[in-house]
Amino acid sequence: MAQHYYTVSWDQLHRDSKALAWRLSTMTPFDGIVAITRGGLIPAAIIARELECRLIETVSIVTYDDERRGEPRITKPPVAAGDGTGFLIIDDLVDTGTTARQVRALLPRAHFATVYAKPAGKELVDTFITEVSQDTWILFPWDTEAQFVAPIMRKA
């Protein structure tokens, strides 16, 4: 379990994702976006709208089971992005850098941006908005209600 928790509301995630889009808007137009599933999907949608980018690809790398970190597994590669040239990679968070290293290896020429960054992984991304301490677990709005709620499929 984490030592600290930081709750992010839907409104805050939207504001922070839009701030990231604003920062990215000064860069060369991107040919497409690669959203890292699942956490990068919603920030990628917000950023795609703001940057008027219509080509969205995904990459799925499984590294967490609840709060336990495991060996990364690529379950869906970003085929349409090639080596990443002209693409923008979006994720919600870079933590230890495990996922970021995997995605960088797949898309070495892409620009990598996250909404939130922790010290151990922030050097692996090109752009981020908010830094949080390494011992903080971010509670994203899709993981919480008034209290933590397990995914529907796990309740069955």
Residues recognised as catalytic: 91-92, 95
Place of tokens 């970190």: 69
Q: Is 92 annotated in some ligand binding site?
A: yes
Q: What b/e string do you get for 69-85 counting C-beta neighbours within 10 Å, with b at 16 or more?
A: eeeeeeeeebeebbebe
Q: Is 97 annotated in some ligand binding site?
A: yes
CB within 8 Å of 11: residues ≥ 6 apart: none
Q: Is 121 annotated in some ligand binding site?
A: no
- 26: number of CA atoms within 13 Å, CB side? 5
Q: Is 39 annotated in some ligand binding site?
A: yes
Contact 103, 76 (CB under 8 A): no
Q: Is 99 annotated in some ligand binding site?
A: yes
Q: Is 152 annotated in some ligand binding site?
A: no
Binding-site positions for Mg(2+) read 92
The binding site consists of: 38-39, 91-99, 137-138
Annotated binding site for GMP: 95-99, 137-138
